Amino acid sequence: MSGPLTGIRVLELGTLIAAPFAARMFAEFGADVVKVESPGDGDPLRSWRGLHKGTSLWWYLQARNKKSIAVDMKTPGGVAIVKRLAASADVVIENFRPGALEKLGLGWEVLSALNPKLVMVRISGYGQTGPYRNRPGFGAIGEAMGGLRYTTGEPGRAPPRVGVSIGDSLASLHGVIGALMALLRVKSGEGGGQVVDVSLVESVFNLMESMVPEYDLFGIVRERTGGSLPGISPSNTYAAADGGYVVIAGNSNPIFRRLMQAIGRTDLGDDPALHTNQGRVARNTEIDTAIADWALQRDTADVLKVLEAAEVPAGRLYSVADIVADPHYQARGMIQEMTLPDGVVVRVPGIVPKFSETPGEIRWPGPALGEHNNAVLAEIGYSDAEIAALKASGAIR
């Protein structure tokens, strides 16, 4: 099966999360992705979190469908390999600190001279310009300085982190979107390649809704509000009698009235003062208390059954165990199986988004370090003797 990106060649020079996740999406939809890793231990993600026989399960997921070559980019031979790969690539994705590739002789000016149609996605903490460009930055810093963490958690308590590396993943998605837009320009003949400059901080900041104009005009600083949605009512997380939690969003005018009828509070649903969001925000505590009291008298399943019948958006808080067992996830192909190198079958997330004609697919799990050295180097013109010389010099593993 051919994915929508079949024929696109991607060179991945990154490590850990942001650049590799972006490259993974290209690989899932048919692009030929070559990942360059340092000889020795390779990408540190290989040893992060849960390990299966010494290799991270996250690695097998993050690097699926990619080819791995082990190249020392600090050697002349390694630099020559990366240049030759970039010369035939459509996209290069990297997440080193700004200036790092330039020190190796692999910066944008060098690579674009070799390949004028090249699109280079550069993911960093603060971007390629500005006074903070040289600072190191991880996704957690992006979440902090992009505004996300300040608004997350309960009032009066230290902000918690989201349970996953959301800052890195947001940067990845912006990188993929930017790369595809830049590729469209190249493939349509409208222009040459360019740099897609992605900042972790800005990728988070881009999701901060109307916070800036609200602050500018009204002096509003959005604060932590727990499970509720500030300025929108009602929307919150409510406890059920069996210890479960349900998110209920009754924040459109007709849905609010249906919700109040479902919980037996037609007095609130019929109150003209509550027929607009602004009116409900002014009395949010009263509304929230009514919903919370109703939910706390019922098991989670009963809460969801009543609200589904009333066509009120609601969902139970899912753990990973709930996700894997859920029939809708299964019906949508969001829980798939992948066979590891030793034959063990493991369930993994499916592919997003869904395509009607050219869907993405899982072709193989994350490869062994340098598994594709010979095949990839042969594809770009290295002879057997040259490959042997590169190994002898330490340029490749």
User: Active-site residue numbers?
Assistant: 168
**Residues pairing with 93 in the sheet:** 12, 121
β-pairing, 195-199 with 119-124? parallel
Q: Cβ-count burial of 220 within 10 angstroms (0-12 exposed, 13-18 middle, 19+ buried)?
A: middle
- The single-letter code of the amino acid at 182 is A
What is the distance between the alpha carbons of residues 101 and 360, in angstroms, rounded to a whole number?
31
Both tokens of 282, joined, read 């002014």
Using CA atoms, how far residue 40 sits from 19, 90, 350, 392, in Å, is 20, 28, 31, 15
> Left, alpha or beta for 327 (phi > 0: left; psi -120 to 50: alpha)?
alpha
Locus of tokens 């991607």: 10
CB 165 within 8 A of CB 192: no
Q: How many Cβ atoms are within 10 Å of 190's Cβ, its own excluded? A: 8
Coil/strand/helix, residue 312? coil
Report the candidate in 254, 312, 265, 314 with the shortest Cα–Cα distance to residue 291: 265
CA angle 355, 10, 107 (to 5 degrees): 140
Element (H, E) at 7: none
CB 283 within 8 A of CB 330: no
Coil/strand/helix, residue 39? coil
- The single-letter code of the amino acid at 374 is N
Q: How many Cβ atoms are within 10 Å of 210's Cβ, its own excluded? A: 10
> Left, alpha or beta for 274 (phi > 0: left; psi -120 to 50: alpha)?
alpha
